[in-house]
A and B are shown apart, each in its own frame.
Chain A
Amino acid sequence: MSAPAGSNRAFHAQLKKYFLWYTCGLLVFVALLWVLERMGLPKIWIGYTFLFATIGLYAGIGIVSRTAEVTEYYVAGRRVPAFFNGMATAADWISAATFIGMAGTLYLQGFDGLAFILGWTGGYCLVALLIAPYLRKFGQFTIPDFLGARYGGNVARGIGIMAAIICSFVYMVAQIYGVGLITTRFTNVDFGYGVFLGLAGVLVCSFLGGMRAVTWTQVAQCIIVVIAYLIPVAWLGMKYAGSPLPQFAYGRVMERLAVREQELMKDPKEIEVRQIFSRRAAAARERIERLPKSYDDGLAAARKAVEDLTAVQAPIPQIRRAERALDRYPESPEVARKTWSAELAANAARAAPLMPHGEPFWSGNPDPVKAQHERNNKRANFLALVFCLMMGTAALPHIMMRYYTTPSVNQARQSVFWSLAFILLVYCSAPALAVLVKYDIYTMIVGKHFSDLPGWISAWSHVDPLLLSVTDVNGDGIVQLSEIRLGQDIVVLATPEIAGLPYVITGLVAAGGLAAALSTADGLLLTISNALSHDLYYKMINGAAPPQRRVTISKLLLLLVAFVAAYVTSLNPGDILQTVALAFSLAAASFLPALVMGVFWKRANRQGAIAGMLAGLATCVYYIATRFPFFQGLLGLNPAHWPPWFGIHPISSGAFGVPVGFIVLVLVSLATRAPDRETIELVDFLRYPNLRSGDSGAN
């Protein structure tokens, strides 16, 4: 199946040359646009140029690598060298949310946000040690393939198909959402158009060339992602850490940041603003407690305000404001409870004291016993989240699929190294970026007059007040930290401007975010359509289908899945986004026990695997359905009656699901018959790189 070593080497050398030229071309392109910007090219055109040039590039790669051959379409002909497969995996891995949101999450959560950094990188140890080399040796096409072969029969395969589709679909909607968001922000097109434009970029690639086209596009996207992330970080590093590699030098900035935090904590003006927020929160709480009476009172007061103002012929804007307040008044006491609860939460959050960035599991509770309790709970959740994200990383089908594409087992092992190496370029920079941006805001923005704020603040708050808003709460004309509210995405989006870089770099960051979203969406789309076409159709329904037909069916399903996903995204389901992190727990609990034990424990059998997968999945689904606020609302459960187990947030449901999956798999396997000889031979085939299929025990 694999090509001779000599031609592989030539292929590798050729690839290196292509992508080196491509990287140079990209840099020249950016420089050229910069010159044009200096000559007066409007910003919106820079946005358009980046959008269409990059999508055009991906389409070009898609057209060049179009294919209708089965191995090319499903696993890129199994000749992707370790280094390039590493790049493709990194692009597959770094999603829109990671690229744009990760640094912001760290900004907002400080140490506690590092759970994502740890979880999403440490998982690769499991991929390398337990999964990748064995899957490569197995040498088929999908993850359900593995389950079907190792645990004989269609039940295990069927559960695998279902789990792969659930995990990947939710994840994919989030990517397409990211595409829509980026295109809208940088080109002002409507969100719906943005979604379909992005979709075209995804489709042209995966539709024509399957895995082969997706792989080379992902390599190209990886280069854009890394360059777009590192350039602004380097500039900001020069500004504050005195080094273009702040990844190694932001320790000093952290020290200065800690000093500044101490100052701000004691600042009387800050305390004043926080007290205003806590008064607002208290007022909202009081109104909620007095429901439904407070609803009628509030409505009457709002009506009266309009009437009074009209009666005394107050200035028009004043009347308008009162009318608008009446318009926006909740339409029923139930709605009022929701709106006011949200108001209470938002104000209470802003009334909270300042969190020291570097302190683990921080609690601002003045009561030492309660504070200790909160800290322990935060620590437990941190550990549980890290655990779930790591296990999930090693079980997400779109990542595992990539390790089928290397030429050999040894290359698969090396390829995990390159994957993590490229991922670390971004992940090691995010904590540094968060600290640098925080230092900038704490020292350059806080304490300034509202009239002297830098331009990027008003520019971004016009784009979307949820991203950034600064309001003079206590009316002193000076910015206090507590008066700034920012969404996580702003940290990466505004970095080029904070660092004083030209707009062309902002465009490059947008192109990077787009590349991150598209590359991940590509991988997920292939996973879903392959699960349907290869596993469901070819392996379970029509085993006699000729190769040509399989690829055609796969392409049609790909289109269908893409449009369903785009349709779901265009409904703008904000709630779905919250559920993305759940995919990790689901994937971990359903796949990991069966995959790992399938290689490392010969005694694991069909009944055990099926029971383990179902039990793991069911535990997670049950825990999420009864504890996750969104689903509680959907099912009409009262949160008070469904307290979390050990205080663990439902985002980490895998903390229960994975152990349950393992235990059930072991117990049921032991209680039923040992697997047959053929299965044992398959396990040997997986373990020893030099065995060929059917070799062991054949004579």
Chain B
Amino acid sequence: MTVSDRHRAYWKRTRALTIQLLLIWFCVTFGVTFFARDLMFTLLGWPFSFYMAAQGCLVIYLLLILLYARRLHRLDVEYGMQEVEDE
């Protein structure tokens, strides 16, 4: 088995997904904390910037990782890239 166009297309999509998720990760983390003092309003009884830094961002991280695992697994299947199990 060699690196084919199918492989390259797979890698392109993997890389695009990685970059997108990293961008979200970056904006959530550094955006919210940079503007923390401007985001001190209360949302549903929670001080927004405190809540984001204490728990909100954490949950977003978890969802990002879940999304990545799911999407890449689907990509693996779509491009026939699943790992060969018998080595």
Contact A424-B25, Cβ < 8 Å, known A128-B68, A129-B18, A416-B69 = no
Q: Does A410 lie within 8 Å of B37, measured CB to CB?
A: no
CA A665 to CA B47, docked complex, whole Å: 42
Whether B72 pairs with A386 at a CB distance below 8 angstroms is no
| Interface residue tally for chain B (C-beta within 8 Å) | 50
Q: Mark A550-577, 1 if CB is under 8 A from B, else 0.
A: 0000000000000000000000000000
Bound CA–CA A421/B50 (angstroms):
21
Say whether A125 contacts B25, CB under 8 Å. yes
Residues of B within 8 A of A111 (CB): 36, 49-50, 53
> Number of contact residues on A: which range applies?
35 or more
Which residues A504-522 have CB closer than 8 A to chain B? none
Q: A125-B65, A416-B65 are in contact. Are A692 and B1 (CB under 8 A)?
A: yes
Name the CB-closest residue of B to A123: B61
Interface of A is mostly: helix
CB-CB < 8 A to A4: which residues of B? Answer: 85-86
Please name all residues of chain B whose beta carbon is closer than 8 Å to the beta carbon of A126 when the two chains form the complex: 25
Q: Interface on chain B toward A: helix, strand, loop, or mixed SS?
A: helix
Is the Cβ of A121 less than 8 Å from the Cβ of B72? no
A360 — which chain B residues lie within 8 A by C-beta? Answer: 33, 36-37, 40, 49-50, 53
Please give me the residue from chain B that is nearest to A416 by CB atom.
B65
**Distance A118 CA – B57 CA, assembled complex (angstroms):** 7
- Number of A-B residue pairs at CB separation under 8 A: 159
- Most chain B beta-carbon neighbours within 10 Å: one of A427, A428, A690: A690
The answer to whether A122 touches B29, judged by C-beta atoms less than 8 angstroms apart, is yes
Say yes or no: is A383 at the interface (Cβ < 8 Å to chain B). Answer: yes
* Residue in B37, B57, B85 whose CB lies within 8 Å of A122: B57
Min CB gap A125→B, angstroms: 5
Taking a contact as CB atoms under 8 Å apart, the answer to whether A251 and B46 are in contact is yes
Q: Is the CB of B45 within 8 A of A413?
A: no
Q: Which of A36-44, A189-197, A200-208, A681-689 contacts B (4 or more CB under 8 A)?
A: A681-689
The answer to whether B2 touches A698, judged by C-beta atoms less than 8 angstroms apart, is yes
Apart from the given pairs A361-B37, A690-B83, 4 other A-B contacts in the complex at a CB distance below 8 Å: A5-B85, A125-B65, A361-B36, A383-B33
Sampled A-B contacts (30; CB under 8 Å): A111-B49, A118-B33, A118-B53, A121-B57, A124-B65, A125-B21, A129-B21, A129-B68, A133-B72, A251-B44, A251-B46, A252-B45, A255-B45, A360-B37, A386-B29, A390-B29, A410-B69, A416-B69, A417-B65, A417-B66, A420-B65, A428-B54, A431-B54, A600-B15, A688-B10, A688-B11, A688-B81, A691-B3, A692-B87, A696-B2
Seen from chain B, the residues whose Cβ lies within 8 Å of a Cβ on chain A are 1-3, 7, 10-11, 14-15, 18, 21-22, 25, 29-30, 33-34, 36-37, 40, 44-47, 49-51, 53-55, 57-59, 61-62, 64-66, 68-69, 72-73, 76, 80-87
**A interface, CB within 8 angstroms of B:** 1-2, 4-5, 111, 114, 117-118, 121-122, 124-126, 128-130, 133, 137, 247, 251-252, 254-255, 358-361, 375, 379, 382-383, 386-387, 390, 408-410, 413-414, 416-417, 420-421, 424, 427-428, 431, 600, 684, 687-692, 695-699
